[in-house]
């Protein structure tokens, strides 16, 4: 079973991202469970959503405390909450940021890191910092866990109030194309860019 914790801020679409990713994974023949986390959050407050997928049926319906992957769709939320809490050694981080890898001060135990200027892309397309579609593309590119085509098919079945299908497709494609991937080598404390 592969477990993903999605961090963002209220209004950016973290829960919608989990739903779309689950639909795409099911389309590819996997079992997937998306678990939203709702409290008294308001627009702009840190939020989380959770997703598990496997080749077998999933019975666990709890929050995820030891994720294989953290997908952070907001560049500032990592300063407000510990997005790395409980993350498995060698795990994958997909982070919305325009900062360079060396400036991020990331934990040494990461296995792979995908960086995407999701806010810049979202502002160019939507004129709003709604980053969920962009970061789903970044997730697909970084992990290879789901295809861009399956994510795009999931978009076709979703309804969008604030932006249309064409814009979300473009955002997802740019997130996929513009994500920088680094394989971390903790033994020698450096990262290798992946082409």
Residue 195: what pLDDT? 61
Where are any strands of DSSP class E within the chain? 2-9, 31-36, 46-54, 69-72, 92-96, 112-116, 180-185, 190-194
Q: Are strands 46-54 and 2-9 parallel, antiparallel or unpaired?
A: antiparallel
pLDDT at 186: 54
What would the mean pLDDT of 82-111 be, rounded to a whole number? Answer: 94
Q: Which residue has the tokens 């001060």?
A: 105
The helix (H) or strand (E) run that includes residue 19 is helix 14-27
Give the number of C-alpha atoms closer than 13 A to the C-alpha of residue 26, restricted to the C-beta side: 13
pTM score, two decimals? 0.91
What residues contact residue 16 under an 8 Å CB cut-off, 6+ apart?
132, 158
Query: What's the pLDDT tens digit per position in 134-160?
Result: 999 999 999 999 999 999 999 888 655
**pLDDT value, residue 188:** 45
Map out the domains of the chain as residue ranges: 2-194
> If you classify domain 2-194 with CATH, what class do you get?
alpha beta
Which phi and psi angles does 153 have, rounded to 5°? Answer: -65, -40
Banded model confidence at residue 38, pLDDT cuts 50, 70, 90: low
Which residue did the predictor score with more confidence, 90 or 40?
90
Residue 162 has pLDDT above 60, yes or no: no
User: What pLDDT does 159 receive?
Assistant: 59
Q: Could you give the CA distance from residue 19 to residue 182 in angstroms, rounded to a whole number?
A: 27
**Given this model, what pLDDT does residue 177 score?**
98
Check residue 77 and report its DSSP letter: G
């Amino acid at each position: 079973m592969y477990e993903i914790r999605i961090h963002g801020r209220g209004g950016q679409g973290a829960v919608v991202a989990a739903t779309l990713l689950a639909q795409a994974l099911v389309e590819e023949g996997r079992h997937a469970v998306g678990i939203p986390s709702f409290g008294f959050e308001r627009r702009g407050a840190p939020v989380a959503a959770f997703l598990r997928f496997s080749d077998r049926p999933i019975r666990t319906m709890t929050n995820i405390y030891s994720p294989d992957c953290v997908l952070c769709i907001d560049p500032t939320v990592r300063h407000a909450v510990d997005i790395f809490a409980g993350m498995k050694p060698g795990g994958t981080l997909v982070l919305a940021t325009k900062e360079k890898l060396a400036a991020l001060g990331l934990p040494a135990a990461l296995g792979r890191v995908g960086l995407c200027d999701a806010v810049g892309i979202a502002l160019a397309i939507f004129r709003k910092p709604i980053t969920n579609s962009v970061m789903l593309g970044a997730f697909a590119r970084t992990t290879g866990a789901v295809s861009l085509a399956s994510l795009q098919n999931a978009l076709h079945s979703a309804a969008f109030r604030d932006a249309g299908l064409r814009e979300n497709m473009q955002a997802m494609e740019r997130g996929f194309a513009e994500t920088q991937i680094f394989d971390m080598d903790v033994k020698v404390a450096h990262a290798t860019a992946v082409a």
